[in-house]
């Protein structure tokens, strides 16, 4: 039998810059932080990696049909969670400092910048409102007084899930592309000297995700697994953190080969639950 | 950097065959590993996988740790093929312990089915060690056939002789063989005439561990008998990978079974869909 020689979890102590992250990306980090960097056990690799990141976000300059941050009370321009934020205006960017780290970078590079004036700031505000209105316009058919959270909370047995999965092929794409999906599976990788422990992303849409060794599976039906994805985001996370684990990025809509749009599913749930 | 996912080594000191498909492994972890009754550990066979188990030995036993394993899946099959002196990986303990201090002065009921006896053994040994603190323990256990009774010598004799004034037993099998002189019937039948043993059902705790279907019908019967949901402790068997609240596999309703369990009271889980599946 093989033996372990090392852990294959690595984190580099190099600083990395993430440039151009949007509100939906920043928001997802709140979810990931709450999982990996909190609780009785913490993930030291994540924490180290995260600490070495300089986050330079930016305002969205336009919206796509799949964007729906406005439905979750988010705006297409970041309000917090960045080191620096860039807003495109005529002739350059308005740079906003969001952290000590960001402040340091600005101070060290003063010669590249000049004070933003009234004009730039009002232009930033106008562009921000324009894009926000664009997102709202895209989602006007999905807007409702009843939040996603409220609608999804007790919906597990709704017939809507069965209808929704008629086009689902169980590919797990929506899980894998989701910036808040945090589930993984530990596994051992074979090396020259033995095995090392590592992990890979997992997806709750997969049949075996919750199956136990003896064969019992609490989510044996695809509709149950599909429901679980949204129940996790709008049930489990709000109950544990008071936060939705969905940022309205719309990636699960663009990735889906069955053309399933979760906004439509929620709309159906509103009517039929 | 120290990885919370990395197992340490444990040597298999002894392997005790319990039933045709259940073995107990006596392990000596390289780094000492102390657990409290109710917590679980992960056993690893490098390159083949990992599985969660609640130890079956007494939490007061510091030198070694015993784990009783039924052959049900790939990891447990490999475990069953191991020999004494082999080395495996171990990490833990994880999860929450039983609130033993809440059981003091009370009549505690334990209901086990099949291999569900393994984690209950650890609890039982913890209770028995300080039996003066508890008013009474009633131990109900059911196995398929007499051959399937785990820890047979202990269940049928040694434990019964420990503190006969305070610890009582009701043992049953679904199907008898020629030798069997005891009761025949499903484990739920051991709960008939419970008032003969437990005076104050309203205030008493009950701990249940067994296959999902057994847990379901036992819980319903306990509720009928007057047990209160917050006093019904259920061992949840869920898919686990990390064991430390990160990987999401064990998510059940708003709980992570590895973090909030593995034992959860019925009031917490009763509204979770498919909880018995
Ligand atoms: S939706 Fe599924 S894959 Fe994503 S975090 Fe929740 S349980 Fe994990
Ligand atoms: S991406 Fe679409 S088809 Fe794939 S699992 Fe998700 S909902 Fe199903
Ligand atoms: S087993 Fe990983 S979160 Fe519970």
Contact B72 A213 (CB under 8 A): yes
Verify that A220 and A190 share a domain, yes or no.
yes
Which one of 3.10.20.90, 3.40.50.620, 3.40.50.80, 3.30.950.10 gives the CATH number of domain B100-235? 3.40.50.80
Verify that A17 and A125 share a domain, yes or no.
yes
Per-residue pLDDT band for A1 (boundaries 50, 70, 90) equals very low
Q: In chain B, positions 36-75, which contact chain A (CB-CB < 8 Å)?
A: 44-51, 72-75
Residues of A with CB below 8 A from B244's CB?
A: 39-41
Q: What is the mean pLDDT of chain B?
A: 94
Chain B contact probe: residue of A218, A222, A238 with most B CBs at under 10 A: A218
Tokens matching residue A188? 């051992």
Whether residue A251 has pLDDT greater than 90 = yes
Q: What is the pLDDT of residue B277?
A: 84
Q: How many CB pairs under 8 A join A and B?
A: 131
Tokens matching residue A109? 């590079």
Is A143 among the domain residues?
Answer: no
CB-CB contact of A99 with A82 (8 Å): yes
Q: What is the pLDDT of residue B68?
A: 96
Give the start-end residues of each E strand in chain B: 8-19, 22-29, 40-45, 49-53, 65-70, 87-94, 107-113, 136-143, 167-173, 183-184, 206-209, 232-235, 251-252, 255-256, 263-265
Regarding the beta carbon of A182 and ligand 1, being less than 6 Å apart is answered yes
Fold category of B8-94 in CATH: Elongation Factor Tu (Ef-tu); domain 3 (2.40.30)
- The boundaries of the domain holding residue A127 are 9-138
Of A138, A167, A192, the one marking the end of a domain is A138
In chain A, the number of structural domains is 2
Verify that A255 and A152 share a domain, yes or no.
yes
Is the bond leading into A181 cis (omega within 30 degrees of zero)?
Answer: no
CB-CB contact of A29 with A102 (8 Å): no
ipTM: 0.91
Regarding the beta carbon of B246 and ligand 1, being less than 6 Å apart is answered no
The ligand 2 atom nearest the CA atom of A177: 1
Whether residue B202 has pLDDT greater than 90 = yes
Q: What is the pLDDT of residue A13?
A: 74
Q: What is the mean pLDDT of chain A?
A: 93
Domains of chain B by residue range: 8-94, 100-235
Residue B124 host element (H or E): helix B117-129
Regarding the beta carbon of A230 and ligand 1, being less than 6 Å apart is answered no
Verify that A134 and A152 share a domain, yes or no.
no
User: What is the distance in A from the centroid of ligand 2 to the CA of A257?
Assistant: 7
Whether residue B1 has pLDDT greater than 80 = no
Of A138, A166, A187, the one marking the end of a domain is A138
Give the start-end residues of each E strand in chain A: 4-7, 16-21, 53-58, 84-89, 92-97, 184-190, 195-201
Instruction: Answer whether B76 touches A (CB < 8 Å).
Output: yes
| Strand B40-45 to B107-113 pairing | unpaired
Model pLDDT for residues B95-148, shown as the tens digit of each residue: 999 999 999 999 999 999 999 999 999 999 999 999 999 999 999 999 999 999
Verify that A166 and A108 share a domain, yes or no.
no
- The span from the CA of B117 to the CA of B127, in Å, is 15
Verify that A47 and A133 share a domain, yes or no.
yes
Whether residue A5 has pLDDT greater than 60 = no
User: What is the distance in A from the centroid of ligand 2 to the CA of A173?
Assistant: 6
Handedness of CA B241, B53, A36, A205 (dihedral sign): positive
Per-residue pLDDT band for A215 (boundaries 50, 70, 90) equals confident
Verify that A130 and A17 share a domain, yes or no.
yes
Verify that A207 and A261 share a domain, yes or no.
yes
Model pLDDT for residues A33-65, shown as the tens digit of each residue: 999 999 999 999 999 999 999 999 999 999 999
Model pLDDT for residues B218-273, shown as the tens digit of each residue: 999 999 999 999 999 999 989 999 999 999 999 999 999 999 999 999 999 999 98
Q: In the 8-state DSSP scheme, what is residue B147? A: G
Whether residue A154 has pLDDT greater than 90 = no
Q: Record the pTM.
A: 0.92
CB-CB contact of B45 with B78 (8 Å): yes
Per-residue pLDDT band for A162 (boundaries 50, 70, 90) equals very high
Whether residue A139 has pLDDT greater than 90 = yes
Contact B46 A194 (CB under 8 A): yes
Tell me which residue of B3, B4, B82, B85 sits closest to B45, measured CA to CA.
B82
């Amino acid at each position: 039998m093989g033996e372990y020689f090392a852990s294959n979890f690595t984190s580099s102590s190099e600083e990395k810059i993430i440039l151009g992250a949007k509100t939906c990306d920043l928001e997802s980090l709140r979810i990931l932080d709450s999982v990996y960097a909190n609780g009785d056990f913490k993930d030291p690799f994540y924490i180290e990696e995260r600490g070495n990141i300089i986050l330079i976000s930016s305002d969205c300059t336009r919206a796509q049909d799949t964007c729906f941050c406005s439905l979750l009370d988010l705006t297409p321009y970041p309000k917090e969670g960045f080191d620096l934020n860039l807003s495109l205006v005529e002739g350059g960017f308005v740079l906003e400092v969001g952290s000590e780290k960001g402040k340091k970078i600005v101070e060290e590079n003063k010669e590249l910048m000049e004070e933003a004036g009234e004009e730039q700031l009002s232009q930033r505000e106008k562009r921000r409102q324009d894009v926000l209105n664009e997102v709202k316009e895209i989602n006007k058919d999905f807007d409702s007084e009843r939040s996603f959270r409220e609608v999804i909370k007790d919906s597990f047995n709704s017939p809507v899930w069965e209808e929704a999965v008629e086009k689902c092929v169980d590919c797990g794409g929506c899980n894998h592309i989701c910036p808040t999906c945090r589930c993984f599976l530990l596994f051992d990788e074979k090396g020259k000297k033995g095995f090392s422990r590592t992990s890979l992303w997992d997806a709750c849409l997969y049949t075996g995700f919750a199956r136990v060794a003896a064969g019992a599976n609490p989510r044996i039906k695809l509709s149950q697994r599909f429901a679980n994805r949204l129940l996790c985001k709008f049930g489990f996370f709000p109950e544990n953190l008071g936060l939705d684990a969905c940022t309205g990025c719309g990636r699960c809509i663009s990735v889906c080969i069955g053309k399933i749009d979760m906004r439509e599913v929620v709309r159906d749930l509103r009517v039929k639950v | 950097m120290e990885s919370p996912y990395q197992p340490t080594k444990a040597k298999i000191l002894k392997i005790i065959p319990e039933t045709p498909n259940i073995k107990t492994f006596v392990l000596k972890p390289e780094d000492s590993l102390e657990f409290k009754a109710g917590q679980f550990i992960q056993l690893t066979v490098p390159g083949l996988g990992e599985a969660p188990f609640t130890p079956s030995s007494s939490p007061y036993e510091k030198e070694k740790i015993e784990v009783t394993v039924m052959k049900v899946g790939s990891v447990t099959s490999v475990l069953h093929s191991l020999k004494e002196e082999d080395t495996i990986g171990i990490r833990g303990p994880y999860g929450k312990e039983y609130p033993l201090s809440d059981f003091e002065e009370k009549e505690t009921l334990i209901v086990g089915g099949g291999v569900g006896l393994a984690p209950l053994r650890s609890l039982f040994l913890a209770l028995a060690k300080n039996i003066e603190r508890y008013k009474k323990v009633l131990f109900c256990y059911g196995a398929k056939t007499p051959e399937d009774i785990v820890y047979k010598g202990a269940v049928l004799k040694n434990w019964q002789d420990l503190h006969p004034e305070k610890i009582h037993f009701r043992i049953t099998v679904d199907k008898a063989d020629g030798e069997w002189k005891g009761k025949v019937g499903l484990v739920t039948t051991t709960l008939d005439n419970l008032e003969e043993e437990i005076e104050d059902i309203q205030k008493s705790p009950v701990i249940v561990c067994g296959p999902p279907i057994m847990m379901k019908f036992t819980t319903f019967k306990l509720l009928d008998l007057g047990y209160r949901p917050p006093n019904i402790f259920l061992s949840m068997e869920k898919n686990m990978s990390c064991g430390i609240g990160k990987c999401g596999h064990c998510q059940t309703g708003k709980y992570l079974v590895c973090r909030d369990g593995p034992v959860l009271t019925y009031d917490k889980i009763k509204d979770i869909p498919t909880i018995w599946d």
